[in-house]
């Protein structure tokens, strides 16, 4: 008898919990607690038990009845609350709709599009290229042979090609968008004016102004009568368009294997406004655009006559440019997915 009562309890409680409306709940109540309900009939059968068992079974039956009545009341109240809430939430089709949240372009993309537009305004075309590159285009075509010490400064990431027919060390993640110079100049005859935005990879120590994954906008011009002053004028025009006419710019001599002469471009640090900070390494200046006149060896490697044409090349550090543009003190914020940061731009 006790087992039968427990089965009635478990079955009824399960049905009560799953009841979807008051009508269904009332039917369950009649099924178990009505005059001909399962629990009612079971309780009537207690009188047929031996006298010694009646008290214990009777207490269990009353407990089961109490549980079922409480479960029914709780479920009834819950259904009433749900029905009331539905009535309150009834849609008024005459009310204006709720405008959904719409995202916006990432600050990196915003500045990238603006950079490309500025260059297009002075006759440049935009190109794209592979992030998985060959040693040939990334180094050899840029006057950086296999034994050149400049390779040590770029901390190259090599792809594992041991299970392929590719020569080990030939396939890499490009360290610079300058790798597109050889690819484009092999196919296009001068005059050319090209910018190549893209992502690069180097195994570098990450800090406020450096990352192992970073964006550059490579640019180069090849034509007759191209001079160093043309490079300076282009850089000054572009940076002042992007950063404002009052931007302070300075150039310093430097050395890169694929340019001769080479220059480094600096702008006054906008993060600290010239006071000194961790981003500019307390120098008050931030490097923004290494550049120079394209080395004759690079022009010869693509079949150009370096006696008839010349060119200049530059590489804008886009990640750094964005950081300086918005006066952020750490370029790692650009890859932080926290919406509280991204929503500010």
The DSSP letter of residue 190 is S
Q: What is the mean pLDDT of residues 19-45?
A: 83
Average pLDDT of the chain?
86
pLDDT tens digits along 177-229:
999 999 999 999 999 999 999 999 988 777 666 667 888 999 999 999 999 99
pLDDT score recorded for residue 23:
85
Strand 249-256 relative to strand 157-158: parallel, antiparallel, unpaired?
Answer: unpaired
Task: Among 132-141, 150-159, 175-184, name the one with the lowest average pLDDT.
Answer: 150-159
Instruction: Name residues whose C-beta falls within 8 Å of residue 21's C-beta, 6 or more positions apart in sequence.
Output: 79
The DSSP letter of residue 23 is H
pLDDT score recorded for residue 87:
67
Residue 110, classified by CB atoms within 10 Å of its CB into exposed (0-12), middle (13-18) or buried (19+), is middle
User: Which residues pair with residue 122 across a beta bridge?
Assistant: none
Instruction: Name residues whose C-beta falls within 8 Å of residue 325's C-beta, 6 or more positions apart in sequence.
Output: 111, 242, 243, 270
pLDDT score recorded for residue 272:
82
Q: Which of 81, 187, 197, 76 is nearest to 128 (CA)?
A: 197
Q: Which of 234, 198, 189 is nearest to 126 (CA)?
A: 198
Q: Which of 29-38, 102-111, 191-200 has the highest mean pLDDT?
A: 191-200
Q: Which of 251, 253, 174 is nearest to 218 (CA)?
A: 174
pLDDT tens digits along 61-100:
888 888 888 888 888 888 888 877 776 666 677 878 778 7
């Amino acid at each position: 008898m006790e087992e039968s009562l427990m089965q009635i309890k478990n079955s009824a409680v399960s049905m009560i919990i799953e009841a979807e409306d008051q009508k269904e709940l009332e039917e369950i109540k009649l099924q178990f607690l009505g005059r001909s309900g399962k629990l009612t009939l079971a309780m009537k059968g207690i009188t047929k038990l031996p006298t010694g068992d009646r008290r214990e079974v009777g207490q269990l039956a009353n407990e089961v009845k109490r549980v079922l009545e409480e479960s029914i009341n709780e479920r009834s109240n819950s259904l009433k609350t749900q029905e009331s809430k539905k009535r309150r939430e009834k849609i008024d089709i005459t009310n204006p709709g709720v405008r959904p949240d719409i995202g916006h372009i990432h600050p990196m993309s915003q500045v990238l599009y603006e950079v490309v537009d500025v260059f297009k305004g002075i006759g440049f075309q935009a190109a794209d290229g592979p992030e998985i590159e060959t040693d040939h285009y990334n180094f050899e075509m840029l006057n950086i042979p296999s034994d050149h010490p400049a390779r040590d400064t770029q901390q190259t990431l090599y792809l594992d090609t041991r299970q392929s027919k590719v020569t080990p060390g030939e396939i890499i993640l490009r360290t610079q968008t300058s790798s597109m110079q050889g690819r484009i100049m092999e196919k296009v005859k001068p005059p050319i004016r090209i910018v190549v935005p893209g992502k690069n990879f180097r195994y570098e120590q990450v800090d406020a102004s450096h990352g192992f994954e970073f964006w550059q906008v490579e640019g180069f011009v090849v034509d007759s009568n191209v001079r160093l002053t043309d490079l300076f004028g282009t850089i000054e025009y572009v940076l002042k368009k992007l950063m404002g006419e009052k931007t302070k710019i300075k150039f310093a001599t430097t050395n890169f294997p694929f340019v001769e002469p080479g220059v480094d471009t600096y702008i006054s640090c906008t993060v600290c406004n010239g006071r000194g900070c961790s981003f500019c390494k307390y120098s008050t200046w931030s490097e923004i655009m290494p550049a120079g006149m394209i080395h004759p060896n690079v022009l010869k490697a693509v079949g150009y006559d370096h006696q008839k044409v010349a060119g200049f090349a530059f590489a804008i550090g886009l990640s750094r440019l964005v950081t300086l543009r918005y006066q952020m003190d750490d370029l790692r914020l650009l890859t932080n997915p926290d919406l509280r940061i991204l929503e500010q731009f």
